Chain A
Amino acid sequence: MARHEAFQGSLPLLVLKILARRGPLHGYGITARIHEATGAELRVEEGSLYPALHRMEEGGLIKAKWTITGNKRRARVYEITKHGRERLDLDEKRWVAVNAAVLRALKNA
């Protein structure tokens, strides 16, 4: 189980992307999607997802509400906001650009 420091920084971006694509999800669901998408390659300490979610919530990128799941449990479901979508757009472009630049540098150095 590898822990990637670099990945920590891009967690909000990943969360925004997942929420934008899959619609409202609870925290556990988001972890599962990250797993699915990255396999064993990228794995965060799962607990650290929550402070990140709450910070994004305070920042107005996502909003949350309580729902009752199929087996009658209280679950907190997150949803991307308009502001979140704009940020996702921006950050995704920036991330791709930076990544491309880093890759280029790695290749040509």
Chain B
Amino acid sequence: MESASIAAGGHAGEHHGPPEANQSSRVEAQFLGMLLFIISEIMLFGAFFTAYFFIRVVGDGGWFPMDGDELPKLIAGVNTAILISSSFTMHWALEGARNENRAALRTGMLTTLLLGATFLCVQINEYVHVGFAPADSAQGSIFYGLTGLHGAHVFIGLTLLTFATVRAYRGHFTAKEHRGVEVPGIYWHFVDVMWVVVYTTIYIL
């Protein structure tokens, strides 16, 4: 069919299909998309942090421990270590992809996924045992609000990592083409950075 149309239409080297996408930015589209997305995420977290600091600095209700409720600093600290470790395994996976080391890529992706899932499970377990509800106080609301917002991001990150892990096991990604690992990786590091800030402000300070 195609050869017939070429024969009938004339030019053999003619371009078929949709025209190539115009790229007006020097930044690659995938990175630009993630950049804009992360900027919007920072604004979203900023809104929650504004509420947190308002309650803590302007309000006179104090902060935890209050009314017999205490935040589990130690467990959340271990959870922080788990999440930061997952950034290292993510980096390991990407280096694996860069060096065509399939075993490192697959093991790194899978370990990152498992560490992230562990973080989320510990977080859910914390909600079950923490002893107060979001409706109990403004402090409770912002505690669940900020940690829950972050938890939702971990969930999204895990979804992205699942795609990348399945692709890694299917033999995708090469030294030249590994954006499917790199872009979720940037998001995952962002989620980790955000947790470091959330953990230190809510639990430590």
Q: Do A and B bind each other?
A: no
Q: Which residue numbers of B lie inside 8 Å of A, CB to CB?
A: none
Q: Which residue numbers of A lie inside 8 Å of B, CB to CB?
A: none
